[in-house]
Chain A
């Protein structure tokens, strides 16, 4: 049997798998269709002279042990932890809310807005950490059926993950913008409004993987998220992995039920005894493997995977820092949540149900140059506005919808940071259709499958099985966000795939 492992996709998960396998002495070839590595965590010059992160740019959930194991520091990765976790600018009804990693600092700041909320904060952080600690082991290794017992005996955890987030938060807090800020940390790319059951789950997910001592910290890579991909690639290459960009895999080759390798778009065949696919389940099985090899039940399951929660990314080159009401410079370094209250997010999700654009788009903003000025030319700042909860199948289509969305986003930004329009020099916009076309993100969903409880844990494909059944070809492994534990810049699916393959 051929001992080579072919890895489909050079996103961060594919690179983690490649580096870990190569380090263990396996022969590895990684194939990425795009010219640059990193996938949804890549950095591109979408605006000339600017380093723009196309998708994820927060390394707060990335596995630290993997960074150490792969010596990413030696391979050029420099981390910058943002002083702020999240901030909501001041609104007509409330002062600005800023959440810091340090509990005391947050309490002090919250005290300016609500004495009650300030008093409730430490208990909230402690409780989250406690629950996250129960969950964490389930997310960082192959999941077993017996693990269900862990949740069964933890009723409060079960309740927290299955409840509407808005409702759980209201049990403790009263300030609408604080509630909105926490929803803003949890709900990006989920497509769900905070009144939906199960929205407690993404917050716990963030906390479980963000480190138990702090609440979902924001961590960036010097030079943009693409620097993570570069460091991973350098580590993999140093261990002997072969990394090829600009080569699209068109087929996973199967011979009598066993993986035999992959075929590239130009017809080249690469033999391999194992293939790790980091593509979405739909792409992996329906496009690369081919429906003819699949049982009808398996195909039906594939067609029923939900990819809702599409997003658009607007990058703006600005003449200076925008004036978000009530936020000082350090507060601009984390997530900037533009929602006055949880229902603003709910209403954006409502519009998507009916395949419409929201009247007021829900924007998660970031100013990466506030931490790392090297990302833009001197004197310029970069604002990344991620517009969440968009319908992929927009009524009327995205050709007409794109310009309309841009106009609405501009209005919304102006509302939150008056005068920002006058600072804009250049812009670039990635629509949900671009995420699908450029990055293979089925239906524009950034998580390769909705991250709600009905598609998580035992209900998400694992690296080697789905719904208790082995994958349809032996030697085929999943290693992308579409499998357990799911999306986000964690490196875990890739790590679990590599570890499982090495154990086999």
Chain B
């Protein structure tokens, strides 16, 4: 199979060609998605090289020893959305995947009160009932509904969007005609599932794409405290407040994960999220993929209307019949692609639309090295709450005000903070007795109205975070040994995401499904045959999931197989 595929790709003999500049497939970018794509392509027998511009792999999942003895996941912090089929098919556990569930969420409240949700539903019921008995009852029903909706999305994620649209559109003759796409049996099955849903569920689903999470949660709950706590998942990584239409979808996006089959579980990777990337890299390498860092790609090479490789920034050419980019569309479609190379004159439109892609970051990361465990006013003693998520979102108005600050170009004076203490889950992250505190903070817009993000503004942002923390964990300001403040331009610079949006582009209806990242490239294929997209900005992307990269790689392999069959047929002809 290896040989067949290689020959069809027309890129060489099928023998490893280290350093020769000829491969079967090139993957641009060694973030988790790029690595997943490489692993799948290599696993199918292709000779694969991953080209990463920075000195390290991992992209936005990178972990580093920011201060001697203290390891941090620089941007990301938790794992849940990593697709089970990716874990299974790439055998990631054997390569080092080790997820420790974060079993609880603590929401400290002003005046020493709190909301504490634990894995044990009975205990959570009692905590929530202190704020509202009605809400404690409703929580079960809510979780059931979210599981249903999450399952629906989960099924959808197995299908390529253009095929799905075709299958759904089948009911409307004209759309099927216009799309002219063949629909696989699996996709048809999913489409049928989607269309046969009870009206109420279909309605809920469409509603979730358009409504605000505050309104959505308001359908179940009355307590502002619980609504604010649950709405946290609806704003993560998004320039949205819980009251902005569309935030309900972001909520759902965070309800599609699982860990070891436990739905909606979030976990911490031993060693930090960078270890997830390392795990996938090992899987890819075990199938023979080569990973080259410090190899920035300047553009995609085309020949005879097909992708033929890439040109590196240093002018070197690397040849391959399959090129797959995990970068955001401003790069993949706007910068790497020469519009002249794209057949049918589709290039100019791609470039134009890539320029309007919205991927302005909204989140900062404040990583703290601390001398001891923080003492939260509501739960001062060490306990299980310190091994879970801790979120400062004491009310919907609080979060909305934080958002309003950023909307007009400031950072939040009183920010929303989602934190974990990785060293409690994994003592190797910090020297004995000391800890690392990872604070994911919103909102920090990519561009400040007041001027560039210089050191003074970074530190002012860091101060705002510490001020808020100190309100809930008095004395924490004196425990801080080191502080690392990262804002969207840092994410852009280090992870190569234009604008620094952690999802490579806002997760909202105008950038989802057939629009993610472009109507002409929404199904991983681009209008340049042989050139594919596989990053977070593609279908169902966003979060450490690997899902889009898997689908992209499978699609490229399908195309190779189809071409091989066609070529085989042709060869038999006299």
Contacts and interface: CB of A to CB of B under 8 A. Distances in A.
Given A453-B245, A454-B211, A469-B199, 12 more contacts: A149-B168, A152-B514, A153-B174, A155-B522, A159-B515, A198-B245, A297-B200, A304-B218, A353-B243, A453-B210, A454-B245, A467-B203
A192 interface: yes
Contacts of A300: 219
B175 interface: yes
B404 interface: yes
Given A158-B510, A469-B199, A458 B206 contact: yes
Contacts of A469: 199-200
Contact of B169 (A149, A162, A197): A149
With most chain B CB atoms within 10 A of its CB, the pick from A147, A150, A152, A304 is A152
A147 B243 CA distance: 29
Contacts of A197: 210, 240, 244-246, 508-510
A167 to B, nearest CB: 7
A469 B200 CA distance: 9
B397 A162 contact: no
B400 interface: yes
B2 interface: no
B254 to A, nearest CB: 18
Contact of A468 (B174, B200, B245, B515): B200
With most chain B CB atoms within 10 A of its CB, the pick from A171, A467, A469 is A467
B179 interface: yes
Interface string B333-368: 000000000000000000000001010000000000
Contact of A150 (B172, B198, B218): B172
B199 A467 contact: yes
A145 B508 CA distance: 22
A156 interface: yes
B342 to A, nearest CB: 18
Nearest to A465: B199
B515 A153 contact: no
A159 B508 CA distance: 10
B218 A158 contact: no
Interface of A: 145-150, 152-153, 155-156, 158-159, 162-163, 167, 171, 192, 195-198, 297, 300, 304, 306, 343, 346, 350, 353-354, 452-454, 458-459, 467-469
Contacts of B171: 145-146, 149
A147 B174 CA distance: 11
Given A158-B515, A459-B210, A469-B199, A152 B175 contact: yes
Contacts of A353: 243, 397, 400
With most chain A CB atoms within 10 A of its CB, the pick from B198, B200, B219, B510 is B510
A453 to B, nearest CB: 4
Nearest to B179: A153
23 contacts: A146-B172, A152-B165, A152-B514, A153-B178, A156-B519, A159-B510, A171-B356, A192-B245, A196-B245, A197-B240, A300-B219, A346-B407, A353-B243, A354-B397, A452-B245, A453-B210, A454-B210, A454-B211, A454-B215, A459-B206, A467-B200, A468-B198, A468-B199
Interface string B391-407: 00000010010001001
Contacts of B509: 158, 162, 197-198, 453
State the main secondary structure of chain B at its contact with A. helix
A192 B212 CA distance: 12
A453 B244 CA distance: 12
A304 B175 CA distance: 33
B54 interface: no
With most chain A CB atoms within 10 A of its CB, the pick from B172, B178, B404 is B172
Shortest 8 CB-CB contacts between residues of A and residues of B: A468-B199, A149-B172, A454-B211, A197-B246, A162-B509, A155-B519, A454-B210, A149-B175
Interface in B221-240: 240
Nearest to A456: B210
Interface string B253-297: 000000000000000000000000000000000000000000000
B156 to A, nearest CB: 13
A146 B172 CA distance: 6
B165 A459 contact: no
B124 interface: no
B207 interface: yes
A149 B400 CA distance: 35
Contacts of A468: 198-200, 202-203
Given A162-B509, A459-B210, A150 B175 contact: yes
Contacts of A297: 200
Nearest to A457: B206
A184 to B, nearest CB: 19
Given A146-B171, A198-B210, A453-B210, A162 B199 contact: no
Contacts of A148: 168, 172
Contacts of B510: 158-159, 162-163, 197
Contacts of B178: 153
Contacts of A147: 172
Given A162-B210, A353-B400, A149 B514 contact: no
Contact of B203 (A162, A350, A453, A459): A459
B169 A152 contact: yes
A255 to B, nearest CB: 27
Given A148-B168, A152-B165, A167 B246 contact: no
B169 A350 contact: no
Contacts of A343: 408
B165 A153 contact: yes
A148 to B, nearest CB: 7
Given A343-B408, A468-B203, A469-B199, A149 B215 contact: no
A192 B214 CA distance: 15
Given A453-B245, A469-B199, A167 B358 contact: yes
A494 to B, nearest CB: 25
Nearest to B178: A153
A303 to B, nearest CB: 9
A341 to B, nearest CB: 11
Contacts of B243: 353
Interface string B357-381: 0100000000000000000000000
Interface string B502-539: 00000011100011000100100000000000000000
